[in-house]
Structure 1
Amino acid sequence: MSGNTLDWNKVAVDLVQKNLDRLITGIYKVSTDQYKQLQIRTRKAFETYLVKAIEKYSKVRTLINRSEPVNLYDFYVDIDLVFNGSVIDTKNIDRLLNINKNLMILGSGGTGKSTLFKHLFLNAIETTSKIPIFVQLRNINENNFSLEDCIYESLSTLGFCLEKEYFIRSLDKVDYIFLLDGFDEVDDDKKPKLITEIINMTTKYSNNYVLVSSRNFDNFSMGWDNFFELKMVPLNKDKAIELIEKIRFEEEVKEKFKKQLSEKLFEQHESFCSNPLLLTLMLMTFDEFSEIPDKIHIFYGQAFDVLYHRHDALKPGFKRPRKTKLASDEFRRVIEAISAFSYLEKVISFDNDKLIEYINKAKKLESLNFEATDYKSDLVEAVCILLLDGLKYTYQHRSFQEYFTARFVSRQTDELQTTLLHRLFKERRSVQDKVLDLIFDMDKYKMEKNIIVPTLRQVRDLSRASTEKKFYLNFLQNYYKLLEMHFFVRKDGRIVVFPHFISLENNLVTRIINFVVEKYMNVDFRNYRFKAIFDSVEDAFNELKIGTICTNKTVDDIKTNLNEKIKHRKPPRYIIVTANYLENEESHDLIMELSSHIKFAVNSALTILDQIEREHEERYSLEELFQVGK
């Protein structure tokens, strides 16, 4: 692993020189006389980008190192990945590139995906002859960029001076490593187009390597058939201690924390200690709070208190003055409102004007008096909830936005919270998005009263029937409008068949049911999904009686179409869509089998509803409580 002594500029120059001839012959069609001039221009473009990118990605400003960015390798600890049950060391990027040219790196919030990608970018420059390009995919949101636009913007903002058309021409002549960071930060409505563009790029320019990072979320892998999936491995105790040793912090506090981490703290709070972000926050709160809370929202509350009150970790005794003079609860209410506004608009980074707009809206909502520019300064310089990255402001970590949004929603009136919860459930971005989980933990009773109980009662009332089977078929009729049958061709030629029931207008109901099952039973209902493997399309149709749900085309036409697709293996996945899958009574037994996971979720949710209703009946209202003894 590289330290501060490496001459990065020289490494960058050498890397460009290794690729220069192929770059020029790939980009230009020129005479010998023009070659030297173009050589100078091309070398300058790539060297400038790499040198500036090295400067940008090798220095990091963190929660602890607030006053100035520090070298990445001053605190970086190697993150392991797991692939097909094997642990992959990421010290050298070649260990990843040898697995496959196209990789997904998946992990939950705070596990260090972006930090890993910065390391891989630097390591690629140091140890390979390939040119790495680091791309923050969230830039697609604000500018309505295509993938090519986003990549070129990443280059040009760091001094790359060749025209876009020349760069595009080089894509099949030089080996690039594209590090596409933060797929989960792309707006949902832009994701399908982006997936198509990424897949097309890997096909058209198959000489290159493409690594994509993202939080885990539903259906992330669907359609990414030329990508291999690797998952971030949580820190073990040794790596957690190594990270604490590297962090620049008050030595006395570090030693006490390391001692407890080694003795019992890691085992007691492994879910916190194995996450780099949460472990860092634990260190920061350790000196202020003797106990680590079990609930994550209490922990984040403590972290905010420390960020708001504590001195600079690198400058003992120095406390950066705040300009707004707001009390901590007032300051917190404003950042909660800012977070809710931006979260609901799906904004995760903002320019100066947008941030000032959010601050002024929050100021008006909370009826507080301060200057918006002063509050912005405190957010960035004193409390350090936000970072200035170029011309954009971003959260130190997205989990802060989620925490403050949850706080905002939790303190609203029943009427407003109900409205906000409906919107949050309809727009929930992924299973890794923690806003709804945090709201549930902050005030479970209020969330039950305002959305869970009314929604489940609606399901129970609208689907009433004389038999369980009819009740369940009524539920499907009410909430699932389409059935897709997916046929996926494995490398061995066998056919994997699985259904995908799609809810349209009423996706709110199905999402709430899924949420309830996961929160109350700690069960992922998706594990109950139907899937079957067959030797041929004919076997699949015969054994499953798929013909009973094919209403738009004849069965023979569908079989012929499928077999033709499979024969040419383009694409390896084929889908039959039917909107009237319940019309034919002969299909009902098949539908019951295909939708077993949904049946499990509905039955479980309604059993939970009965339990909640009993608990609410037994709960004293506040009025009854104060009337005792009258």
Structure 2
Amino acid sequence: MIEMIIDSKLLASMAPKITNGVINILQDVSAGIKQALREDINTYIGNFVDKYSKIKTFLFSEERHNFYDVYFPLSLKGRNKEMQVPDNPDKLFAEHNFITLLGHAGCGKTMILRHLFLSACSKSSKIPLVIELRKLKGFNGSFIDFVANKVFNFKLSQNENIFNRMLKTGNFLFLLDGYDEIAIDQKDKLTHDLENFFDSYHNNYFLLTSRPGAGAETFERFDNYHVCILSDSQVLDFIDKQLVNGCEEDLELASKIKALLSESKNNPFMKYMSSPLLLSMFILTYNEHPELPKHISSFYYNVFDTLHSKHDAKSKAGGYQHEKKSKLSQDEIRLLLEAFCFVSYMQSTYEFSPEYLHAILPKIIERLKVASKVNDVIYDLSVAISILVQDGTSYVFPHRSLQEYFAASYIAHSREEIKKTIYTKKLIKTGRYERITFWRLCEELDSSCFLQYFIIPSLEIFLEELTKMNDRSLSLSANIFFNYLEQTTTHVAKSDEKYFLFRTGNFYETITRYVHIPNFINKKLSVVIHNEVEKVAPLFINNKRTCFDSKDKSKDILVFYEDIGIYNVAEEYKNSLEKKIKEINDLLASMRDDSDALIDLI
């Protein structure tokens, strides 16, 4: 177990690092500016010490607990090694200054980041600075402006020299949280800003967290580490960790849950228990729903049901329940949540300021024709039900997966013509891999319409783009391959004498992964790059390029692709896509036949 002290001493231990690592280097700066800088950095770090040292979790939403009372150490897996999250961040950066921390919803990325920040305060050689990337939504400026303004309280135009000198010391650890939470309309610009920042201040340590597929993997300087899922033994240890300090009832609860999980190895839902967040949700809901559901959407319904009606009754003496100030029924609150989550999720808004809530909720309340005041609704969602939690002055869901569930539920309960409009025109055709969780929920709750109006049309458009004869001097198979490279923004690239395959976030690559189409092309290219690098290297040397342009059809490139047999693989890929479209159409036809058969029974 990692032993950490979190109190006033933690922040006090930062003072020498700030003074010796930054302030003393600025020899020609006035004493007044040095003191202001010292205070600004201390204030910024102190805010996160206060925020991160105590925590409300899904299980413990009533009061803040000491972070290390609930923190569970996880493992990370890189390209060539696996390691437990260290107790000192410097060990993570022993070989490289740039680390990407990747993991799916609820895997524990943010908990790891909190731990790395807190441990850095007392143990790292660097000064830790947390930047929550979602906070840049609505910020009118560049990333470097944001850092200067929010961290150091600088107006960059007036203090650019001091700012640059500080950051070029390399004495900082930047913990950049939530690359996948960047608003879509800011993504390209902010990515460019980040790359410039990394290049300018590369002597610092950088940790970037993201869900896979959002594009964070493609930053050239970064080594990618994936958060490992809980092993079977860790699942049991995690349950003990969350409940071991509780009362006798909690210890009995832990015993019952572990027994159920041990008996349920063949339940398809068991795979979700390897997620710390979903396992926490299951612990919360167990008393009211003591079984493993078969579908993730059913599980989220259980979570809402428990939070709304049952949690207080089971956790408070005398069956106490929080008063619902809004006077809305459970069904009314559910409808309101569905509408709110649909609107906010489609807007890529995951953090809700009071201004945002007061702008959106009155319109939803009016549309739903429910009688309630906005402040009462906010109170119920954040206090009585605790499905929203306060984060500074704003509100967030305990995890975005809850927002995704209610957004998908809103679509499922809409009229079919509305569903068609949403699936064909409103769902953002993004390459963000994290959308897969949302798509899976849509398919569970609204299978027929989701497949008919979203999946099949998307795959058919992709197939049409793949098979276009854009270059009639080449065969159909060759055209398919070059079209694939362009449509999926796939490249072969070189970095530090290594050759690798990379893709920027792309809708078609993501949706084919969602429907489990084997990616023969990428697999073939990856094998060739790894095993036959002598064939790849001359193309870079002779042409002085850092990556293959997807439109490059020079002689050397064409001969290379012909030699490795990639055109035949492209034909196989096209065939697998056609086969998948037929399978889904057959499934829809079967679903319609089943419905007709049931109607005939009436």
Q: Distance in 2 between matches of 1:526 and 1:339?
A: 37
Letter of the 2:19 partner, please give it.
L
Q: 1:20 to 1:406 in 2, by over 3 A?
A: same
Q: 1:481 to 1:272 in 2, by over 3 A?
A: closer
Q: 1:259 to 1:64 in 2, by over 3 A?
A: closer
Query: For the aligned residues, what is the CA RMSD?
Result: 3.9
The DSSP-based 3-state class of the residue aligned with 1:63 is coil
Q: 1:594 to 1:254 in 2, by over 3 A?
A: same
The DSSP-based 3-state class of the residue aligned with 1:393 is strand
- Equivalent residue, structure 1, for 2:75: 80
Measured after TM superposition, the shift of residue 500 of structure 1 is 6.9
Query: Is 1:134 equivalent to 2:130 in the alignment?
Result: yes
- Equivalent residue, structure 1, for 2:102: 106
- Equivalent residue, structure 1, for 2:226: 231
Equivalences for 1:209-248 in 2 at 5 Å?
209-217=205-213, 219-222=215-218, 224-247=219-242
Number of residues of Structure 1 aligned to a counterpart in Structure 2: 578
Query: Is 1:441 equivalent to 2:444 in the alignment?
Result: yes
Q: 2:583 aligns with which of 601, 608, 611?
A: 608
Q: 2:410 aligns with which of 408, 411, 434?
A: 408
Letter of the 1:442 partner, please give it.
L
Equivalences for 1:244-393 in 2 at 5 Å?
244-247=239-242, 251-261=248-258, 264=262, 267=265, 268=267, 269-312=269-312, 315-317=316-318, 318-393=320-395
- Equivalent residue, structure 2, for 1:65: 60
The DSSP-based 3-state class of the residue aligned with 1:321 is coil
Measured after TM superposition, the shift of residue 245 of structure 1 is 2.7
Q: Distance in 2 between matches of 1:255 and 1:375?
A: 35
Encode CA deviations 1:502-538: one digit per residue, 9 max, x unaligned: 99xxx6xx479626632xx7x5677545343355688
Q: Distance in 1 between matches of 2:504 and 2:149?
A: 39
CA contact (8 A) 1:356 1:376 kept: no
Q: Distance in 2 between matches of 1:270 and 1:625?
A: 32
Relative to the length of structure 1, the TM-score reads 0.80
CA contact (8 A) 1:176 1:208 kept: yes
- Equivalent residue, structure 2, for 1:122: 118
Pair member with larger Rg: 1
Q: 1:536 to 1:462 in 2, by over 3 A?
A: closer
Moved more, 192-201 or 354-363: 192-201
Moved more, 380-389 or 317-326: 317-326
Equivalences for 1:114-193 in 2 at 5 Å?
114-155=110-151, 166-193=162-189
CA contact (8 A) 1:517 1:524 kept: no
Q: Distance in 2 between matches of 1:166 and 1:612?
A: 64
- Equivalent residue, structure 1, for 2:22: 23
Q: Distance in 1 between matches of 2:370 and 2:420?
A: 25
Letter of the 1:51 partner, please give it.
G
Q: Distance in 2 between matches of 1:463 and 1:221?
A: 25
Q: 1:513 to 1:393 in 2, by over 3 A?
A: closer
Measured after TM superposition, the shift of residue 76 of structure 1 is 0.7
- Equivalent residue, structure 2, for 1:44: 39
Encode CA deviations 1:273-311: one digit per residue, 9 max, x unaligned: 211111111111110012110210000000000000124
Query: Is 1:202 equivalent to 2:205 in the alignment?
Result: no
Q: 1:429 to 1:156 in 2, by over 3 A?
A: farther
Q: 2:493 aligns with which of 485, 488, 502?
A: 488
Moved more, 424-433 or 401-410: 424-433
Q: Distance in 2 between matches of 1:490 and 1:45?
A: 38
Encode CA deviations 1:583-619: one digit per residue, 9 max, x unaligned: xx99997873473574254233233145225414633
CA contact (8 A) 2:524 2:566 kept: no
CA contact (8 A) 1:482 1:579 kept: no
Encode CA deviations 1:201-250: one digit per residue, 9 max, x unaligned: 3332232100001111164322x222111110112234333332333666
Measured after TM superposition, the shift of residue 39 of structure 1 is 5.0
Q: Distance in 1 between matches of 2:248 and 2:308?
A: 21
Letter of the 1:24 partner, please give it.
I
Encode CA deviations 1:151-210: one digit per residue, 9 max, x unaligned: 34553699xxx9776444311225111100111101234333333333333332232100
Q: 1:165 to 1:119 in 2, by over 3 A?
A: farther
Q: Distance in 2 between matches of 1:307 and 1:125?
A: 35
The DSSP-based 3-state class of the residue aligned with 1:416 is helix
Gaps of 5+ in 2: 469-473
CA contact (8 A) 2:480 2:574 kept: no
Moved more, 408-417 or 184-193: 184-193
CA contact (8 A) 2:100 2:216 kept: no
Q: 1:241 to 1:251 in 2, by over 3 A?
A: farther
Equivalences for 1:389-538 in 2 at 5 Å?
389-423=391-425, 425-428=427-430, 430-433=432-435, 434-453=437-456, 486-489=491-494, 491=496, 493=497, 510=508, 514=512, 517-518=515-516, 528=523, 530-531=525-526, 532-533=528-529
Query: Is 1:574 equivalent to 2:579 in the alignment?
Result: no
The DSSP-based 3-state class of the residue aligned with 1:180 is strand
- Equivalent residue, structure 1, for 2:9: 10
CA contact (8 A) 2:478 2:570 kept: no
Encode CA deviations 1:326-357: one digit per residue, 9 max, x unaligned: 22111111001000000111111121121122
Q: 1:578 to 1:373 in 2, by over 3 A?
A: same
Q: Distance in 2 between matches of 1:376 and 1:95?
A: 43
Q: 1:90 aligns with which of 81, 85, 88?
A: 85
CA contact (8 A) 2:99 2:222 kept: yes
CA contact (8 A) 1:530 1:594 kept: no
Q: Distance in 2 between matches of 1:535 and 1:322?
A: 65
The DSSP-based 3-state class of the residue aligned with 1:489 is strand
CA contact (8 A) 1:9 1:51 kept: no
Q: Distance in 1 between matches of 2:181 and 2:80?
A: 27
Seq. identity, %:
24
CA contact (8 A) 1:456 1:609 kept: no
Q: Distance in 1 between matches of 2:15 and 2:505?
A: 49
CA contact (8 A) 1:338 1:359 kept: yes
The DSSP-based 3-state class of the residue aligned with 2:100 is strand
Encode CA deviations 1:70-98: one digit per residue, 9 max, x unaligned: 21111111111112353211141232121
Q: Distance in 2 between matches of 1:488 and 1:481?
A: 15
- Equivalent residue, structure 1, for 2:471: none
Q: Distance in 1 between matches of 2:448 and 2:360?
A: 30
Measured after TM superposition, the shift of residue 376 of structure 1 is 1.1
The DSSP-based 3-state class of the residue aligned with 1:104 is strand
CA contact (8 A) 1:217 1:430 kept: yes
Letter of the 1:125 partner, please give it.
C
The DSSP-based 3-state class of the residue aligned with 2:138 is helix
CA contact (8 A) 1:528 1:596 kept: no
